[in-house]
Amino acid sequence: MFKIAICDDEKVICQQLNNTLMDIGEKIDEKFQIDEFNSGEELYDFLQKGNRYELIFLDIELREINGVEVGKKIREELEDEITQIVYISGKESYAMELFDVRPLNFLIKPLNSEKIELVLKTARKIMQTSNKFYEYKIGNVNFNVLLRDVLYFESRGRKVRIITKDDEIEYYGKLSEVEEKLKDNKFLSIHKSYLINYKHVIEYSYEYVRMSNNEQLSISQNNRKAVREKLLQLRQRKHYVQ
């Protein structure tokens, strides 16, 4: 069961989106559990109790806590990087504000059913592949770590450090080998010593990136132009349907 939340202070928008999602569900033969919320406080209170969704359609212009603030609470206070957030709004002027929340997409009202279907299919695909593992070896024993939990890989001499949300792991290996294994995933080489997970980037400039653990990593001078172009490309591709 794919769990979806709709949060909009206009009940008619919630109902229209609910109906559209149900129609798409019948079309693609998928069952959805859809819950509606009419305020950011109501949604966040529900999430604080441990409830989770695969996908949240979140209005930006909510009356008390706006959608951007709710998104930041989901990412920072609940430490939830897995739930996919799609912002909906009647305005187009929120691009930079939304970057910290790392949304899946941004849809303009009135909502288009084709774009909703595209977003839904993308969210389902992400969830289906979110349990990918990276395998490494310590001694004669093989271990796995969830890629979604990895912030970055770091080269330290003859060892590779894996920095995750909750742990630090070291094993003998080469960062170039890690990069080759992960070339089809959202990992970027920003320096000869760092291979980062784009999904955990919360801020970037020409000289550094800041990861979701608030750690700042330097971008090497030779990589700066390529990394900036790649980050912009990924952000535009992932976050917005034109």
Q: How far is CA 49 from CA 52, 161, 180, 216, in A?
A: 9, 34, 41, 32
Report pLDDT for 240. Answer: 38
Report pLDDT for 26. Answer: 92
High-pLDDT (> 90) share of the chain, %: 58
Model confidence at 151, pLDDT cuts 50, 70, 90, reads: very high
Average pLDDT over residues 143-151: 88
pLDDT in tens, 89-114: 988 776 567 777 889 999 999 999 99
**84: β partners:** 55
Q: Mean of the per-residue pLDDT values for the chain? A: 88
Q: Are residues 65 and 26 in the same domain?
A: yes
Cα radius of gyration (the chain): 19
pLDDT in tens, 206-242: 899 999 999 999 999 988 888 888 877 766 554 433 3
* Domain range for 151: 133-230
pLDDT higher for 226 or 88? Answer: 88
Q: Are residues 117 and 184 in the same domain?
A: no
Which CATH number characterizes residue 98's domain? Answer: 3.40.50.2300
Helix, strand or coil, per DSSP, at residue 188: strand
Q: Which of 153-157, 171-175, 235-239 has the lowest mean pLDDT?
A: 235-239
In a domain? residue 121? yes
C-alpha–C-alpha distance, residues 9 and 139, integer Å: 56
Displacement of CA 236 from its chain's centroid (Å): 13
Q: Are residues 187 and 225 in the same domain?
A: yes
Q: 84-89 and 133-138 as β-strands: parallel, antiparallel, unpaired?
A: unpaired
Beta-strand (E) ranges in 99-225? 105-108, 133-138, 141-146, 150-156, 159-164, 168-172, 187-191, 194-197, 201-204, 208-211, 216-218
Q: Are residues 179 and 61 in the same domain?
A: no
Q: Which of 129, 146, 166 is the last residue of a domain?
A: 129
High-pLDDT (> 70) share of the chain, %: 93
Question: Counting every residue, how long is the chain?
Answer: 242
Report pLDDT for 198. Answer: 86
Q: Are residues 92 and 140 in the same domain?
A: no
Q: Are residues 36 and 115 in the same domain?
A: yes
